[in-house]
Amino acid sequence: MSRTVWDGIFTGAQARAGQAVVQSHCDRCHANEGWPFVLEAWSGRQLVEFFDTIRTSMPLDYPGALRPEEYTAGIAYILRLSGAATGGRELPSDREVLAGITITRSREG
């Protein structure tokens, strides 16, 4: 069964941890963009593609510097800012799991 980013794929605690990651490592370049653009820009693609892109290219001054769990926490925070609901399990850094989650603009797709 395919899941989307709207299916409670992260926890509130993970999103809160991700806020610190985003504020420390992402906002210096992306603060003026507003994070919900991610859903629009990546809609229809698998979450693993977004994870791989940010993991290999960000932070801009030291790509790949964060632990995989920090990248997924940052993603959880971005999804929360976009209105996605929390769930009972953390979003894992496992590429196979992330490949089974589709990014959509809204709950309806």
Q: Which residue shows structure tokens 């800012």?
A: 81
How is the chain split into domains, by residue range? 3-102
Q: What's residue 29's pLDDT?
A: 86
pLDDT band at 27 (very low <50, low <70, confident <90, very high): confident
- Report how many helices (DSSP H) and strands (DSSP E) the chain contains, helices first: 6, 2
Q: What tokens does 108 get?
A: 């309806």
Question: Model pTM?
Answer: 0.94
Task: Report the DSSP beta bridge partners of residue 46.
Answer: 102
Q: Residue 52 corresponds to which amino acid?
A: D
* pLDDT digits 0-9 by tens, 79-89: 999 999 999 99
Neighbour tally for 48: CB within 10 Å: 17
